[in-house]
Structure 1
């Protein structure tokens, strides 16, 4: 045994002995050559096998510190499947006889494409480990980084590929990680699909031979597939019980997550950069870092898996100044009232009406800049339109601030119209192939942020906008995907770096703006939920889940969104009725109850409201402010999930300290005097006493107790009578001292 392994073995022994006191999370058993990570209720283990490959060993419920963890050496199944293809490798290079999805595929100038990665060394930290792998002959090194969260047991994995040689290396595929589940034939994959206006549709299918590929080739994340997955087990896993493995990729560009079952019957999940149209040249001494692929395990069903993911995002991903992100302010957005026809007087009138109902943030949407009177012109020219705002934005901002609200603005910095000063000056700044047609989407092109000059120009413009105006919020939009993904100014061998460098520079701009303007909050929007992922969430404060604001459709959209991401990060608006999507008319109270289950926004044309509308809104905004910490930071329990043919939803939000709960019950319609069972709550303190009140102020039904124990509300439940179409009810439960 080497000195290095002996020393690591002593570290493992010391941490195991002091587990109760120090709660050590990472260790290495030198005798078995097994690495072990513990966090929350999860243990994750892998080993160095006899051939020097990293082999997955265990991922599931937390084991005792003294429990031995190991796995047998994998053997060849036949001449068709040699040992390298059977070993459940943690990070496999494409070489040595593997046919499973590799994590890394490279090519050298001499035509060699064989890559076999063997263990070289490791370095333990308190909550993780860094592993160095190297090709058996060539000077290419891969550093695998593992870290486990102590609270949730969620693991973060990434890889850094380094060219240590004297010639170039072309990376053709670079994944962040491969996760391997135990052998089994009863697994089901859950994932989220969609399109514009219909995002966050939950899908499921068996995990079987043949891969399911979740991907975006769009240059950004995209609505078509979100980079999130969950895997349950048939007959064991439900919303409230059974094992679930889940994960999400922190990347806002083209991605791929491949889910398959190998020849030994093990599900494998491999995620990272999308290899479609991908090539990344590493010159001598250069490195490529992959995104982080986060993954976790739950034993109490899909609900617990969601809550663990929500908690992890709030505590470790989203920007925050304390332990948790700031609470989302009640927001008004002017788009539906004015569209492009914004001006100083009209926006001031809307601001006065918004302040009446308790709005805390007034956001002026598209139309305030350049020659922006429609979507054909102006993008790229981020200067105030002098005919609409002859004195700049200062008078409007001053008015908004005097009404007790902060001021926000819509921007779309990554785009340019052909009819703009920026495009006329720099037609070469867009993503394009030289000599080929330039496809427009929504009458606009995509700027090439991979270029440093474009990156610096955008930062300069946005920095000046925020420096010269008291702006506290940006709605950052992105309304088309890429076409003709070329970079003519770059060396042909480097042009496909566009897929990585664009996103890295987007992150850089956002990070630099946050550093220079720490009081400015940012919302990520992409024609709705087209760019929502843990990568963009690390640099923005909230996201726009969908342009579809129909309150019935939103029940299903929000159900899908919260499978993966925390409700407090999701903006949900109350908008006009009939809604523009389906021409469906719904009561204002129903629209509020639907939208209060995330970050509450109002996007209606307030100029058309009656006094009754204002009174209804004032009540619900006031109620929301009472419960928003519970909704945004608490634990979500999905009691009844909506489906495409039955938009009935019952959700419960319970505060972290269980002092408050907010219950929402909504239905698209009732039929045939159908009896409604009592709603049995979840997650309360069974020994505490809770008082209950309705959000609309109506009295409780006959015989309903005003105060009862958590055990009562969870055992007996609450009787809610809903009759008619588009009916909803909301209740607040407050723990009594």
Structure 2
């Protein structure tokens, strides 16, 4: 007879209510295991995370929150009694990583089907090992040889925990994985939680949403084959009636996956909160052969007791030091110029050279030629996939233009869209089978293009080889890697029907592999992730790219709200922000050059305007503000961001402040939508300064009130505040504070 609940560890025959004291040797470790209570504990940066093996050999969460002392009591893991015949113990007991089986009704972490039709999976603890800041726990089905290695890592500086699973089939037959999460996060039981998440659409990304967590399930997801504009794989959960930027408990997480993904936020029958995230199970099926493994994405989680503002700053520090390819000390992003708005597809050597001269005159450090330089690319109907230099536009190749750009003391970047193909291309005519498709069905085009099936080895090799060749034969410092449509007809007819749904995993794995190989062979090349704007931004793609394009909407006023939402999840270091033409195509809104610059200077600054239309005053203002930006760039990109006044919800004002890591500099940006009834601009109170340090204030653009001192203590600037002289429509001012 099969027993689901084997005899528990002898030490647990008597109920244990507290965690035993930890030895002094263990206190120095970030991860340790108590053999008596069978509890695993992770401690770092004012965060404690604990879970253990309960009386039925399952992993059960114990605590996640503000750090507690090593000898503080923690409850021993123990299955909860059934709440009713409809709510059995397996359902109401929180679990670290649950298989679908044994009467489980909440969202499972893993669901499989065996060849004989069995779909029951119950995972029990087998063993564990601790390697420094990483813990690996092995669990196994109670009957069949399906093993899962649960990986945990913890960052000593931020307390952010990384979790992922490696599923291994040690049976003698294939199994079908139908759902595979990286982790389930469990929060303390309460009824006063609210959820924040990011939604959007093309040209309207990064809209911050907030709602109460109620019984039931909220699903955040993308079924589009990529991260998507519609949802982003980030969440934050706040506790209390009135949490704000700088106070309150916040649990947050981000999924590192650039394909279809899903995060479920669930409140169960007993008001327990569970957050489960990983591969999107929609249309998913991964046939795991005997002896093979499937590794899930990583799911990162963190905690702050100082509000969602500090949660963002913690996540920013983690991204800068542990995620970005140049970490732990990424270089500041250069000031760039991109030619798209000036020329669109009509690029050629003389026109680009003239733009490069103008860009260099205002202090630009990187010149990027956008779409139109390759194949028979005259518009968006043809040429994608044919990655040879168009000889009509560049008779002598790219070298003369690159040499020109270098002579102007700028490096050179180039736009590519490697994963796409136009039906009107030599590549498609030669390899129509290389795209995602279902045989005999229509092939839906988006922007007149189809998606190459990067899961295929021949397609992967083609993409890698043409990019490698391009970088090997040209002095290119930067690739703007675009991706301008989502998936449709995600078929892979070259493989067996049972294997076709693996495309959701293998495509993204091969994308990461290409990026990793290119970076290894061409270590000086930097890469931007662009996907019709912010359609592919996540902690997965950020391991291989240096910056992202948040939105095709470059309207300076709209960008205030877009950038505000973006920074809840991602560091300003990677947030490219362009100064483009006015009035802009998005809203036909007119704003000044200064307004557009200061809006963009809150991230990584770029210029995308048609410089051929600028007058002398525009060039003078741009040169002045680019020079000023270089003086605060390190602080803006690598410092601590404080969102002092939000531009959301119809706010007439927006204020951000960035403080350098050593607290020796701060940059303050203020914006006014419209003056009303002769009211003065609200007083601004800085944050994050050293109260005892004296800071001198200077204007980047605009004025403070006449009675503002030229220098004062950090305490003064934070407690007394400053009055900014702003009046009118779409006005702006910015200031820097430097320690004396």
1:244 paired to 2:250: yes
The answer to whether the 8 Å contact 2:415/2:479 transfers is yes
Deviation digits for residues 90-119 of structure 1, max 9, x if unmatched?
000000001000000000010000000000
Q: Secondary structure at the match of 1:227?
A: strand
Deviation digits for residues 653-707 of structure 1, max 9, x if unmatched?
00000010000001111111123332110000000000001103x5643111000
Cross-structure match for 1:703: 707
Residues 80 and 680 of structure 1: is their aligned pair in 2 closer, same or farther, counting only changes over 3 Å?
same
Please list every run of at least 4 consecutive aligned residues from structure 1 whose deviation after the TM superposition is greater than 3 angstroms: 1-5, 12-16
The answer to whether the 8 Å contact 1:236/1:243 transfers is no
1:617 paired to 2:622: yes
Cross-structure match for 1:18: 25
1:52 to 53, 57, 82: 57
The answer to whether the 8 Å contact 2:53/2:77 transfers is no
Cross-structure match for 2:737: 733
Q: CA separation in 2, counterparts of 1:385 and 1:16? A: 69
Q: Secondary structure at the match of 2:512?
A: helix
The answer to whether the 8 Å contact 1:128/1:145 transfers is yes
Cross-structure match for 1:97: 103
CA apart distance, 1:225: 0.4
The answer to whether the 8 Å contact 1:243/1:300 transfers is yes
The answer to whether the 8 Å contact 1:16/1:66 transfers is no
Cross-structure match for 1:482: 487
RMSD of aligned Cα (Å): 1.5
CA apart distance, 1:138: 0.6
The answer to whether the 8 Å contact 2:22/2:71 transfers is no
Tell me the number of residue pairs that the alignment of Structure 1 and Structure 2 aligns: 726
CA apart distance, 1:14: 10
Counterpart mapping for 1:28-427 below 5 A: 28-71=33-76, 73=78, 74-320=80-326, 323-427=328-432
Unaligned runs of 5+ in 2: 1-7, 13-18
1:651 paired to 2:666: no
Q: Secondary structure at the match of 1:375?
A: coil
1:722 paired to 2:722: no
The answer to whether the 8 Å contact 1:556/1:644 transfers is no
Q: CA separation in 1, counterparts of 2:172 and 2:134? A: 32
Q: CA separation in 2, counterparts of 1:645 and 1:241? A: 23
CA apart distance, 1:206: 0.9
2:679 to 651, 674, 678: 674
Cross-structure match for 1:465: 470
The answer to whether the 8 Å contact 2:11/2:37 transfers is no
Q: CA separation in 1, counterparts of 2:397 and 2:99? A: 57
2:588 to 583, 586, 590: 583
Cross-structure match for 2:3: none
Deviation digits for residues 486-536 of structure 1, max 9, x if unmatched?
000011110000000000000000000000100000000000000000000
Q: Secondary structure at the match of 2:137?
A: strand
Deviation digits for residues 341-372 of structure 1, max 9, x if unmatched?
00000000000000000000000000000000
Q: CA separation in 1, counterparts of 2:300 and 2:224? A: 22
The answer to whether the 8 Å contact 1:695/1:732 transfers is yes
Q: Secondary structure at the match of 1:695?
A: strand
CA apart distance, 1:647: 5.1
Please report the TM-score for the alignment, with normalisation by the length of structure 2: 0.97
Q: CA separation in 2, counterparts of 1:85 and 1:711? A: 52
The answer to whether the 8 Å contact 1:368/1:388 transfers is yes
Further displaced range: 439-448 or 72-81:
72-81
Cross-structure match for 1:8: none
Cross-structure match for 2:634: 629
Residues 16 and 523 of structure 1: is their aligned pair in 2 closer, same or farther, counting only changes over 3 Å?
farther
Q: CA separation in 2, counterparts of 1:26 and 1:230? A: 25
Q: CA separation in 2, counterparts of 1:353 and 1:675? A: 39
Please report the TM-score for the alignment, with normalisation by the length of structure 1: 0.97
Q: CA separation in 1, counterparts of 2:149 and 2:620? A: 60
CA apart distance, 1:18: 3.2
The answer to whether the 8 Å contact 1:521/1:541 transfers is yes
Q: Secondary structure at the match of 2:563?
A: helix
The answer to whether the 8 Å contact 1:191/1:204 transfers is yes
Deviation digits for residues 557-590 of structure 1, max 9, x if unmatched?
0000000000111000000000110000000000
Q: CA separation in 1, counterparts of 2:703 and 2:588? A: 33
Cross-structure match for 2:536: 531
Q: CA separation in 2, counterparts of 1:716 and 1:189? A: 34
Unaligned runs of 5+ in 1: 6-11
CA apart distance, 1:323: 2.8
Q: CA separation in 2, counterparts of 1:153 and 1:483? A: 39
Q: CA separation in 2, counterparts of 1:237 and 1:193? A: 21
CA apart distance, 1:648: 2.1
The answer to whether the 8 Å contact 1:552/1:647 transfers is no
CA apart distance, 1:29: 1.1
Residues 734 and 16 of structure 1: is their aligned pair in 2 closer, same or farther, counting only changes over 3 Å?
farther
